[in-house]
Amino acid sequence: MAAAMASLPGFRSAQEIHAELRRQGEAVGLTTVYRHLQVLSEQGVIDTIRDPSGESLYRQCGSTAHHHHLTCRQCGRSVEVEGRVVEQWAEKVAAEAGFTAVDHTVELFGLCPDHSG
Amino acid sequence: MAAAMASLPGFRSAQEIHAELRRQGEAVGLTTVYRHLQVLSEQGVIDTIRDPSGESLYRQCGSTAHHHHLTCRQCGRSVEVEGRVVEQWAEKVAAEAGFTAVDHTVELFGLCPDHSG
DNA sequence: ACTGGAAATAGAAACGGTTATCATTAACGT
DNA sequence: ACGTTAATGATAACCGTTTCTATTTCCAGT
Ligand SMILES: [Mn+2]
Ligand SMILES: [Mn+2]
Ligand SMILES: [Zn+2]
Ligand SMILES: [Zn+2]
């Protein structure tokens, strides 16, 4: 399962991952896929984002450090990006407003070069 | 409906808004609330965000220009923030990766001063 | 006022992704 | 082998949201 995840190049939904595993002959249930994804996510092995429709997408990233993603709406292909300026901006905004325990969600969605045509 | 929205100080779910309207004696159905929220959202009158659980939250903001929000997890109270640096960062990242039609989601969630205790 | 067609409304049912349940099966240590 | 524990997966439940559709409300034209 974790092995199968590592081979996927982009963000995929639980159902897509399930279908892919079945296609490869692995007789796994959708429940187990969700369960493994949750564990892997808690362990920090995989990242989870939500697409504009609200569906969760999963991917094993190269970096284990804090980062964000630029993801293709069409194929899920994703670029890992980091931005010190964004982190600093978030901290500054939070401090100025007197908010505590502030967390941020930063996601970029677009069309990758292959799907820009 | 739009009038009722204007009086709410923070982000609220459709169901909370519906409950509030009923509390005020307005005999409106949940379907109608969703319908109006969708129209108002398309018109740009109200903003929509998604809380960490995926539920949609709605609010009428003071500014009609592009901005983001720092929202209290506890009470929905929200501060409108803008960040040129974030916009520029997003554009730069997109350009470097060769992505087009890039849109960004930037949300900050924390605890407002009243709920930081 | 009356009327007829268009728009708005609201309850119920459907939808879709996710989670909980629980009986069955596999894995493990002794 | 045996008993215990953990993992699995089919099914049902969950929950916010959308669709369906019958009914009600509007409103212009007469
Ligand atoms: Mn960050
Ligand atoms: Mn922005
Ligand atoms: Zn693509
Ligand atoms: Zn608060």
DSSP A88-115: HHHHHHHHHHT-EEEEEEEEEEEE-GGG
* Global pTM value: 0.94
Dig out the tokens for A45 from the structure.
């092995």
What's the pLDDT tens digit per position in B89-110?
Answer: 999 999 999 999 999 999 999 9
Residue of A nearest to B98 (CA): A113
What is the mean pLDDT of the segment spanning A70-98? 97
Sheet holding B68-72: strands in order across? A78-81, A68-72, A100-111, B100-111, B68-72, B78-81
B95 shares contact with chain A (CB less than 8 Å): no
Model pLDDT, residue B105:
98
SS3 label, residue A52: coil
Model pLDDT, residue B9:
83
Which chain B residues contact residue A114 at CB under 8 A?
none
Instruction: List CB-based neighbours of ion ligand 3 within 5 Å.
Output: A 72, 74-75, 77, 112, 115
CA gap A48, B72 in Å, rounded: 22
Q: A110 CB contacts (<8 Å, ≥6 apart)?
A: A70, A71, A72, A73, B94, B99, B100, B101, B102, B103
CA gap B38, B12 in Å, rounded: 14
Model pLDDT, residue A4:
80
Strand partners, B106: A106
% of chain A beyond a pLDDT of 90: 90
% of chain B beyond a pLDDT of 90: 90
